[in-house]
Amino acid sequence: MQRRSPEPKAVLILAGGRSSRMGQDKAQLPVHGIPLLRRVYEVAAAVSSTVAVVTPWPKRYQPLLPKSCRFIQEPLPAEGDKPLGPLVGLLRGLEWLQDESSEIFSTTGDAASSPWILLLACDLPRLNLETLQAGTTQLTAIPPDVLAFVPQSSEGWEPLCAFYRQDCLIALTTFVQRGGRSFQGWLGEVTVQPWNLGDRQVLFNCNTVEDWQKAEEQLED
C-alpha cells in the first residue's frame, strides 16, 4: 500500500496491561478471526516502516505478528504489583528507539525537525488507515514547541492514539523520575495540540467482554 508523506518515524503499540476487566488477554482476542493486536499492527505498518510492540510478554505475541515487527521488552510486574502503565510504556519505547535505532531518529538538532512517533493501544478494533493518514498530513504544520498531537474529549486527552515528538523524551523522563505515572498529568505539563479526529469511533477500545462483542457485531470483515 502506498504511503503518504510525511510519515511517523516509528509506531509504538502498547501491549502491557493485565486485561483485568476483560478476564483474558485482549491483545489476542479475535475480531472477525483476526487478533486485536494483529489488526492494530496491520494499520500501523501501513503508515510507518518501523513498528514495535512494547510489552512484558514478547514471546506471547511473536506468533501473531510478522518477523519484521520489533519487540521492546518491558519489565515483568511482580506478582501482586500493578503494571507500570502506558506512560512508562511510551518512555520505554522512546528510549529503545533512541538507543537501538539511532538511524531512525537522526535529526539536524532543529526542534522543527524532531521526528514524530505514533503511539497506539493494542485494543483499537476500529482503527483505520484513513484517520492516521489524515493525522500525518498535519504534522509538518505543527509549531516546533508542540510535543504532542493528541485527540481530546470531554473527559480529557486520549493519549493512546496520538503522535509524540522524539524531543518529548526529556520531559517524559523527568516526569517519570519524579514518580509521575499519569498521562493526563504529564500532558498537562507539556505543550499539546489537539488532534481533531474526523472519526472518533477509532478511539473505541475493548476493555470488557461487552466491548469485544460490540466490535464483533459492528465491524465488517
Q: Could you state, in order of their start, the residue ranges of all structural domains in the chain?
A: 10-218
- Helix or strand holding residue 173 (H, E): helix 168-177
CA atoms 17, 18, 23, 28: torsion sign: positive
**pLDDT for 220 beyond 60:** no
Flag the least confident range among 50-54, 84-88, 169-173. 84-88
Give the per-residue pLDDT at 215.
74
Average pLDDT, the chain: 87
Flag the least confident range among 18-27, 52-61, 71-80, 169-178. 18-27
Burial code (b: 16+ CB inside 10 Å, e: under 16) for 45-82 equals bbbbebbbbbbbbbeebeebbeeebbbbebeeeeeeee
Flag the least confident range among 4-18, 54-68, 104-118. 104-118
Give the per-residue pLDDT at 104.
60
Question: What would the mean pLDDT of 13-26 be, rounded to a whole number?
Answer: 73
Provide the pLDDT confidence category of residue 24 given band limits of 50, 70 and 90: confident
Provide the pLDDT confidence category of residue 214 given band limits of 50, 70 and 90: confident
Q: Which residues contact 114 (CB under 8 A, 6 or more apart)?
A: 107, 144, 165, 166, 167
Cα separation, 56 vs 203, in Å, equals 24
**pLDDT for 2 beyond 50:** no
Flag the least confident range among 5-14, 25-34, 102-111, 204-213. 102-111
Which cell is 166 given? Answer: 522524539
Give the per-residue pLDDT at 39.
96
Query: Fold for domain 10-218?
Result: Spore Coat Polysaccharide Biosynthesis Protein SpsA; Chain A (3.90.550)
**pLDDT for 71 beyond 90:** yes
The pTM of the full predicted model, rounded to 2 decimals, is 0.90
**pLDDT for 110 beyond 70:** no
